[in-house]
Chain A
Amino acid sequence: MELHALTIHQAAAMLRAGSLSSLELTQALLQRIDKVQPAVHAYLCVTAERALDDARAADRRRAAGEDGPLLGIPLALNDLLCTRGVPTTAGSRLLQDFVPPYNATVIDRLSRAGAVLLGKTNTDEFGMGSSTENSAYGATRNPWDLSRVPGGASGGSAAAVAADACLGALGSDTGGSVRQPAAMCGVAGLKPTYGRVSRYGLVACASSLDQVGPIVKDVTDCALLLQAIAGHDPQDATSADLPVPDYTAALTGSVAGMRLGLPRELFVKGLQAEVEAAVREAARTLESMGAELVDVSLPHTEYAPPSFLLISSAEASAGLARFDGVRYGYAAPDAPDLWSTYSLTRGRGLGDEAKRRIVLGTYTLSAGCYDARYLKAQRVRTLIRQDFDRALSQCDALIAPTTPTTAFRIGERSADPLAMYLADDCTLSLNLAGLCGISIPCGQAGSLPIGLQVLGRAYDESTILRVAHAYEQATEWHLQCPHMPVRG
């Protein structure tokens, strides 16, 4: 097998056995990136020298007797994550020359584990989008069909994993931005429970909804990466001070005796027939493995999209207020006074979707709107969380589609915000509820991947990993790879 086609755990075994060095592995990945980057445009910044330095350091640590599941493993990081000394743009012109003076906590944890940083991947600007088309640096293309989107916002990371241009990656999920591109790119992606993983150093999209999550080739890799980044961080006041279980121990391969709920409302209006068929077939597979399927209801699902949009826009309007051309980032050079420094910097530095959401968010929070829109959306959010709590009191986990459709064509929805928002109809409610969910491949429509979502209780990533892993091992969808034309 080609080195770039390895999973994290396969590579780790070879590194451990001494049949491979991190330097060789990293060189192979850098060559692979070079081959696929022109067609896919997954990366915004490839840190080749840094990667080779990281690889040599990992090989030295291994020679000194150290080991670990991520030691010497080359990974890609979403450009919403601050990396010290490495450009971090958040997919925006506003941060085009921003070089953070510090690492996000998750980056520090990966470095301590000896991972190798290959580069920063493309994202919708400030995480706002469902296709990565809102990046100020060009769209990323889906390796399964280069005329189609990889999903978003973490489309760069998902495409990099699918194209074997990294062994694994981190993305961030606000309304589905890890799970949805994972589904569209035929890979695995997990959104942890809100508070499970530190947000320190994650450029905020919506602070009560955001979580950093792994995007990887299989569920075993997902467990390994989650293990490394999960846990309390005193620098993130919203991070949970709770112990982190051994996620690998959850990968038993068995779902016998488990109760899996199918929430009828997550089989949304507009669900593509092949997606529904594949997800229901996956449910039957799990049933044949000994799980009991239960019909459940999440009655307020249809209200999740508007609730999400008002809440996330309100939070974005506050979170993006810091970008004012004063302390960092782009600054309008011709501004005659302070107010126009702010306005011109932000007006020119931000793209349409970000500006629309700031306008919508500001409006939603204004006197006269606050109660009827913002508080209303937050009350609906409570009902959505109560729906999940009720359903998950009857089941161990829930099974649903990840996206209503397979990957759509680049440009197809970019002129219509409402059409674009539909892509997250199956994922948004989980962020509002703050619970955990994973997407894994479960089929194809033509040559386009279909994702299965497994949703779970707060801090119960072990259960969703267990279900996802058992399904994965009973099928071969996780072994499918796109056939891409690559530069020779």
Chain B
Amino acid sequence: MAERCAVIGIGQTVAKSKREDVSIAGLVREAALAALEDAGLTFADIDAVVVGKAPDMFEGVMMPELYLAPALGAVGKPMFRVHTAGSVGGSTAIVASHLVASGIHDRVLTVAFEKQSDSDAMWALSVPQPFSAPLLAGAGGYFAPIIRAYMYRSGAPRDIGMMVAVKDRLHALKNPYAHLHLPDISMKMVEDSIMLWDPLHYLESCPSSDGAAAMVIGSEKAAGAATAATGRPPAWIHGMAMRSEPTMFAGRDQVNPQAGRDCAADLYRQAGVTDPRADFDMAEVYVPFSWYEPMWLENLGFCAEGDGWKLTQAGATSMIEGGDIPWNCSGGVLSSNPIGASGMLRFLETALQVRGMAGEHQVPDARRALGQAYGGGSQFFAMWVVSADKP
């Protein structure tokens, strides 16, 4: 049987358009050292290092973990590299946690990053491949038709996406690590921004960020020792799940993918969650384009299919409006998007919340939270549940 495991240290960098002050190694080390300090540990205490990032072409370095080994204190240790598209930050945290849950290691450092300013993600996503339709519009161009299908199916009003864009940016104002701080954000400001891919305005899209995230995953023993040393509580992991499905085939539901629903069902079974809206105190969910909030509300079972937009519209997901199920209190992917780290930031933020360490964007008395990341053509899913309570 799997051993108990917990997040015992958390670190992240400020997300920015360009971190010209640091190399890639400097960027990941900044997050790693912060996580170690939070856990009251040093590199010497770490058994293994698990690194995740999105396609290597985003920086132009093939398998950069090889070069990063000394910067992350991995020399002489096992070092592991995960890549599962946009979900990778979440998958990386899960792979690291399994190294502890399986009883193999006591303390694992996991780090995810992207230094997008070193290259051009749009270019890297659009390299022509033989016998494949070119994706010259980047991720937004890919997802916009799926969003239009959602609007058609659900009858959602056109301003729902803009509401998410405003809400997440208001949340971001409470998070000092967020890339975008837009104090004047308003529905009008979003509507007046340029239309990129109908119905997505510029301000309904995620930014392109440099940033890194890190966590220390510890065994029950390591969690006890960390708390004794630092006085800070762990975030216990109650469930982890990953699911994948093919990019395309006739009959695939890209709006409400089966892989996401199956992943959530497996996760909720592990964590004993029966009514996600009632059982979770908050959620950090991968919403790189505004409309993915109502879509994932349905996919994750927070409401019936077709009703996601109604929760957004009613303010249920807004911390500012006192909603009952605040989503993306950190500002989410819409406010910071170092792609490889974006999934881990979702997972990391849930752990911050149940440890009561989220600062200004802390949800009062948050005890159980859901982290979700997705990638590819809405086909790779990684999720976890963390809690203040030991499983």
Q: Do A and B bind each other?
A: no
Residues of A at the B interface (CB closer than 8 Å) are none
